[in-house]
Amino acid sequence: MTPLSASPPVHAGEHAAPVADWVRIEDLYTNPYPIYRRLREEAPVAWVPSVGRYLVTRYADCHWIEQDAETFSANEDGSLMKRAMGHSMLRKDDPEHQVDRAAYGPVLRPKAIKETWTAIFEKNAEKYLDAFEAQGSGADLHLGFAAPFAAENLREIMGFRNATKDDMQRWSQTMIDGTGNYADDPEVWAKSAASSAEVDAAIDELVPVLRADPDATLLSAVVGAGLPLEAIRANMKMTIGGGLNEPRDVLGTAAWALLSSPGQLAQVLADPALWATAFEEAVRWVAPIGMYPRQTTREVALGGATLPRGARIGVVLGAANRDPEQFDDPETYNINREKKPHLAFGGGAHFCAGTWVARTSVANVALPRLFERFPQLRLADRPAREGGWVFRGMLELPVAWN
Amino acid sequence: MPSITYFQPDGTHTTLDVDPATSVMRAAVNAGVPGIIGECGGQAMCATCHVYVRPESLSGLPEPSEDEEEMLDCTAAPRHPARSRLGCQIACGEADALAVDVPTDQV
């Protein structure tokens, strides 16, 4: 394991990126947005020692990186994600990336969602709303509904018939923790490795079954596409890590934002076409994946600084999505704002493969069903809590109903 | 060199000289033509490079693939039964020129 250096990979020219030594990880976790505002204004491409990366915070610069995959490689040296999950498509560049991506085939695309998955999202919404209602008024919407709903949807799409939604949640969280284990905590690695081994065992059991009898699931698609076992394992782990917390978190964020703004909620309830708008504004406002890594393949000028070859970058989507150069009054959740593209799903070759699954399961199914089930839904007295910056979402969302 | 002309909803237009194989989306994004976003970089996954091909340019184009077909049902502006295409899936090819209307919305 290469330890992160505490100083930038030497570049002491007049265009060296400024050093933002005032940024602390615990502050980013609590509320990154004031930090992002200051970085965008003072040092839009900054070396941040606490994170061991150059953080890029302006919309235009993040967008630029996404469009130039030759200069800004996804195949990062010393990637913790590779250690935790294996080498998935998320850390590959084209053409290698494209081979893995193509193997996902039509499974996550709109037609399959319409024909196969929407009915499953509807079934799971009813099932987990029943369970949530049984917990009684005052229950936590985040853990009580959003999490099991997202986990069970993902389990069924991926085809883990030999696992439970609780396995999916444990696998996802422990491997994500490994991906973010910059402190090199051995206990975190042990849990991540245990989950990784469980996923391998589950896949090994299913491969011959799906080879003999293919179905509509993602596992079946990658087996049918002839992807090598190592690539199947890595990509399934990446998808477990990247396909559960994100729909869960946008569901919680959107519900919280609407419950905090009764005028906007009334507007959406009067015009169901606005659920899609409420969803899109929620991912703009609090991007569930707030930062992802890239590494430069050559010296490059960006945001007024010159970055050396091999520079480790954090593309901060959470900051780009609140750049006042792109969005008026960016810190406010506002479904009536001028429609503009945001970066929450990333861009270019790595554009989120689960975009349409998230839009359909959350905006078309979960949110409307939730507010239909509880017409008087409101925030409970116990305050809601959110946290995170690499991944950000609700930690607890207590709600009340009559 | 063939050319692509983009007509904007406000009546203005831009004409770009392009390589025959360069897609309508890629040419527009590289030149900064407004209203063509191309979020997914050309894999027919995001529907943000939707264009209405002008009738005189339709004949030389290949039929939409299954991927393009399903994505045309996900566009922000209404789909036109004959003229709607994803800019990332079409290029001039053999034609001397292509003319497209840029929709009012992509997101």
Tell me if B45 and A109 make a contact (CB, 8 A cut-off): yes
Instruction: With CA atoms as reference, report the closest residue to A153 among A51, A240, A269, A271.
Output: A240
Residue B82 sits in a domain whose CATH number is 3.10.20.30
Question: Is A14 a residue whose pLDDT tops 80?
Answer: no
d(CA A46, CA A287): 21
Of the residues B70, B75, B106, the best mutation for testing chain A's interface (the one with the most A CB atoms within 10 Å of its CB) is B70
Residues A206-218 pLDDT 10s: 999 999 999 999 9
Asked if residue B44 belongs to a domain, the reply is yes
Tell me if B45 and A111 make a contact (CB, 8 A cut-off): no
Question: Is A2 a residue whose pLDDT tops 70?
Answer: no
The DSSP 8-state label assigned to residue A12 in this structure reads -
Q: What is the mean pLDDT of residues A28-33?
A: 97
Cβ contact A19:A39 at 8 Å: no
Closest residue in B to A107 (Cα) is: B67
Residues A159-195 pLDDT 10s: 999 999 999 999 999 999 999 898 899 999 999 999 9
Q: What is the mean pLDDT of residues A335-353?
A: 96
Query: How many Å lie between the alpha carbon of A347 and the closest alpha carbon of chain B?
Result: 5
pLDDT value for A5: 44
**B35-to-A224, B8, B45, B87 alpha-carbon distances in Å:** 38, 8, 17, 11
Tell me if B43 and A355 make a contact (CB, 8 A cut-off): no
Closest residue in B to A350 (Cα) is: B40
CA R_g for chain A: 21
- Give A111's contacts in chain B (Cβ within 8 Å): 66, 70
Within 10 A of A311 (CB to CB), how many other CB atoms are there? 25
Within 10 A of A70 (CB to CB), how many other CB atoms are there? 9
Asked if residue B72 belongs to a domain, the reply is yes
Contacts of A90 (CB under 8 A, 6+ apart): A74, A81, A238, A242, A350
Cβ contact B83:B52 at 8 Å: yes
Tell me if B67 and A109 make a contact (CB, 8 A cut-off): yes
ipTM of the prediction:
0.93
Asked if residue B74 belongs to a domain, the reply is yes
Q: What is the mean pLDDT of residues A206-231?
A: 97
- Length of chain A equals 402
Instruction: Give the CA angle between residues B30, B35, B38 to the nearest 5°.
Output: 55
Backbone angle region of A78, left / alpha / beta, with phi > 0 → left and psi within -120 to 50 → alpha: left
* B75–chain A Cβ distance below 8 A for any pair: no
Of the residues A66, A111, A351, A359, the best mutation for testing chain B's interface (the one with the most B CB atoms within 10 Å of its CB) is A351
- Give B29's contacts in chain A (Cβ within 8 Å): 67
Q: What is the mean pLDDT of chain A?
A: 95
Residues A113-123 pLDDT 10s: 999 999 999 99
Domain boundaries defined on chain A = 68-289+344-400
Contacts of A72 (CB under 8 A, 6+ apart): A65, A66, A294, A295, A296, A297, A300, A313, A315
* B31–chain A Cβ distance below 8 A for any pair: no
Closest residue in A to B43 (Cα) is: A349
Question: Is A4 a residue whose pLDDT tops 70?
Answer: no
Contacts of B87 (CB under 8 A, 6+ apart): B23, B24, B25, B28, B36, B38, B49, B50, B51, B100
Q: Strand A393-396 and strand A312-315: pairing?
A: unpaired
Q: What is the mean pLDDT of residues A37-64?
A: 97
**Total number of domains constituting chain B:** 1
Structural domain boundaries enclosing B71: 3-101
Asked if residue B107 belongs to a domain, the reply is no
Please, what are the averages of pLDDT over each run of 10 residues along chain B (107 residues)? Answer: 97 97 96 95 95 96 96 96 97 96 96
Q: What is the mean pLDDT of residues A325-338?
A: 98
pLDDT value for A8: 53
Label residue A15 by pLDDT band (50, 70, 90): confident
Of A66, A341, A347, the CB nearest to B107: A341
Instruction: Give the CA angle between residues A141, A339, B64 to the nearest 5°.
Output: 100
Closest residue in A to B104 (Cα) is: A339
* A105–chain B Cβ distance below 8 A for any pair: no
Tell me the fold of A68-289+344-400. Cytochrome p450 (1.10.630)
Asked if residue B106 belongs to a domain, the reply is no
Query: How many Å lie between the alpha carbon of B56 and the closest alpha carbon of chain A?
Result: 30
Instruction: With CA atoms as reference, report the closest residue to A349 among A69, A31, A46.
Output: A69
Angle formed by the axes of helices A229-242 and A245-259, nearest 10°: 10
Q: What is the mean pLDDT of residues A16-31?
A: 96
Question: Is A3 a residue whose pLDDT tops 70?
Answer: no
Closest residue in A to B44 (Cα) is: A109
pLDDT value for A96: 97
Question: Is A395 a residue whose pLDDT tops 90?
Answer: yes
pLDDT value for B93: 95
Closest residue in A to B74 (Cα) is: A110
